[in-house]
Amino acid sequence: MLENIQSPADLRGMSIDQLKQLANEIRETIVKQVANKGGHLASSLGTVELTLALHKVYNTPKDKIVWDTGHQAYPHKLVTGRYKEFHTLKQFGGLSGFLKRDESEYDAFGAGHASTSLSAALGMAVARTHQNLDFDVVAVIGDGAMTGGMVYEALNNAGEIEEKITFILNDNKMSIAKNLGGISKYLNRIISNPTYNKLKDEVWDFTGKLPRGKDLQKLASKVDEGLKKIFLPGGFFEDLGIRYFGPVDGHNIEELIEILEAVKKRPGPNLIHLVTTKGYGWDKSEADAIKWHASNPFDIESGKPKAAPAKTPGLTQVFGDALLEIAKQDGRVIAITGAMPDGCGLNIMAKEIPQRVYDVGIAEQYAVTFAAGLACEGMKPVVAIYSTFLQRAIDQIVHDVAIQELNVIFAIDRAGLVGLDGPTHHGAMDLSYLGMIPGMVIMAPSDEKELRNMLYSAIKYDDGPVALRYPRGSASAPDEKLPFQQIPMGLPKIVQEGEDLLILAIGNMLAPAKKAAELLAKDGIRPTVVDARFAKPLDRKAYSELFARHRAVLTIEDNVIHGGYGQAVALLLSETGRFDLSIRHISLPDEFVTHGEIPVLHKILGMDAEGIKKKAVELMGEINLNPKST
């Protein structure tokens, strides 16, 4: 059936049995695709019935469905005309792993970060009112994203402005016990019944006209509120002015359609609380939803990865091991993450010292200010958050940490390009948004040994915040836990001595820079290759000595050029009066880079060894043709 679905309109004539069959085909398709190419799995398996019910009840794309994050939106892609392209999911030139407005008219809002759907949907609802248009707006959000503070800002505003909107809380943590299931369904039928709600409104109006009507209304309201709080978990939402419906079985298509159709007719803000199972419909993901949240290609029968195990540990593991080792030596070290203990490597420390690891949920702003409070009292907090997610806490980094010169360490995983997740997850701007902050030290290790030593040095540093950024990927050598060494702040390291051309590479860009130097040597160009190690500060004496011995400078970084390492070097050249040196930069472009395999993206962007060589040859040709540069 699935291959014949051209648009959601095809769902609206289907029977419940047909929708159930379609749900099975969707799950089978998703599992096969992720097994073949990798991707997010468990979240999408849990929203199949919800997706079908939404598109059956609502007239999309006129009606707007706003999905939070997009992890759970693979079924949405499949029934909105993208089945034939689904095999290209997350591949270069193919479908995005998230929602994109320019990919489909059914993608009302694009997002790769959590906790945004309610705010965006409210904006759409208000725009509808101001333009006198007629369409419905639905926002879907997972219970995990409910830890984000932005959600409560939206809920607070929703109750105030009273726009007609439906929020769907997809709760895949809570379970409905069998003895409660019948009661909850009964209550849902009562409170979602149009006759009941009409009667309630009429009673309210009638009592208001009676003598002492306001007192009667208050009494009726108290009785209603009391019953809700006894029988239903929605008192919080009701207190905000949002009508609550639930909990509802999120895998029962018939019940979902019934509740959606009922709530669709109601005015004001409404919230439907669904209970689903993350990974539903595939035994392996149901048994371990965390493991199968996202996956590399795997064998469907066994669940085992198709690729051979890496010969070297991932840099995330290197960080986690080093942090545990340091934490055992220093009782001041506290680790903090935002809903990513495994992704950031803090699960390693949590296994041995759980009382010193805090997962605060999808609440990056809180995580930073929480760390600031710890630092005020002499602790050494390490905030481990992906580069792209830390963007959400810039104000807290500035106001709560940097201005007070607090000793907070930011361990920034997934710096640079991350590959298949694309622009919402590329760590393309951390050198820029951190570099502008006074007093911030920014380190970027070129390998696993430097990562260990930089983490150690950051914790030993007592003069303000330190950021340590490193990419997604594996170590360059087998695990070797050498004794920690403290690194002088701001000091670059010469990797290869040469002449004329100075190549300054930061972080993981050192590896392709070294390969480019080998290629250049075959053409008679012997550049000096330097591991910058620091984006800030830059040791003025060390850099001045490097400038003095060369005729041209080439900087290489996996960050946008504006505000990045290359601009900092150019400024230093200017400040030291070296206007005679030619300088060029290799960096991420001034645009959002698409998704694709990292080596493919690096090649296209001229950031691989061949691209670096080409840029170096061009630069050397320029200075040889320009007498002033001599």
What element of type H or E holds 149? helix 149-161
| Cα–Cα distance measured from residue 401 to residue 408, given in angstroms and rounded to the nearest whole number | 7
Which of 27, 278, 356, 469 is the catalytic position? Answer: 278
Helix then strand then coil, % of the chain, to nearest 5: 45, 15, 35
Determine contact, residues 527/543, Cβ cutoff 8 Å: no
How does strand 333-337 pair with strand 380-386? parallel
Cα 221 from Cα 201, distance rounded (Å): 12
For residue 337, the Cα-to-chain-centroid distance in whole angstroms is 13
Kind plus residue range of the DSSP H or E element containing 534: strand 534-536
**Residue for token digits 């820079």?**
513
Q: How far apart, in whole angstroms, are the C-alpha atoms of residue 208 and residue 45?
A: 48
Residue 538: phi, psi to the nearest 5?
A: -105, 120
Q: Find out whether 165 and 135 touch, Cβ atoms under 8 Å.
A: no
Of 49, 255, 364, 448, which is the active-site residue? 364
Query: Distance between CA 345 and CA 363 in Å, rounded?
Result: 18
Told to judge if 615 belongs to the known catalytic residues of this protein, a careful annotator would answer no
What token pair was written down for 116? 């945004």
Q: How far apart are CA 411 and CA 455, in angstroms?
A: 8
Nearest Cα to 245, choosing from 178, 160, 177, 171? 171
Q: How many residues make up the chain in this entry?
A: 630
Q: What angle do CA 363, 368, 370 make, to 5 degrees?
A: 90
Name the nearest CA neighbour of 402 among 367, 370, 372: 372
Q: β-strand 534-536 against 441-443: which pairing, if any?
A: antiparallel
Catalytic residue among 64, 90, 243, 392: 392
At a CB cut-off of 8 Å and minimum separation 6, what does 440 contact?
Answer: 397, 402, 434, 464, 465, 466, 467, 536
Residue type, 48: V
* Buried-exposed string 486-516: b where 16+ CB fall within 10 A, e elsewhere: ebebbebbebbebebbbbbbbbbbbebbbeb
Strand order in the sheet with 357-359: 357-359, 333-337, 380-386, 409-413, 466-469, 441-443, 534-536
Contact 126, 161 (CB under 8 A): yes
CA dist., res. 323 & res. 334, Å (int):
10
| DSSP H helices in 162-231 | 178-192, 194-209, 213-231
**Annotation says 364 is catalytic:** yes
In angstroms, rounded to a whole number, what is the distance separating the alpha carbons of residues 386 and 163? 35
CA-based nearest residue to 86, from 120, 122, 36: 36
392 is catalytic: yes
Q: Which residues are catalytic?
A: 278, 364, 392
